[in-house]
Amino acid sequence: MQININNVDSNGVLNVSIEGSIDTLTAQDFENQITKALEGVKELILDFGKVQYVSSAGLRAILGLNTKMEDQGKMVIKNIDESVRDVFEMTGFDELLNLE
């Protein structure tokens, strides 16, 4: 998994693009790296355009980030692959998260 974290812009928006799988081996690192960059962030945008797979561990990490962002703004996940969107829909995460 590769994570590209951009600088927070003047509006407090942080764009993060992820490539690969968010699974048991990568979920904790995914959550930790992004959490470290959340100071002063009002909107977290996760670009899932190159994410092929999300496991239950990945879902927990995503939910953890969403919970952190509820206190300071919002989180949006965009460019979601159809197979990943299916996982969100089957688990009900599509009702919990802001998906575009």
Architecture in CATH of 2-32+39-99: 2-Layer Sandwich (3.30)
What burial class does residue 65 get, using C-beta atoms within 10 Å of its C-beta: 0-12 exposed, 13-18 middle, 19+ buried?
A: buried
pTM: 0.95
pLDDT tens across 14-24, in order? Answer: 999 999 999 99
- Residue 1: the pLDDT is 93
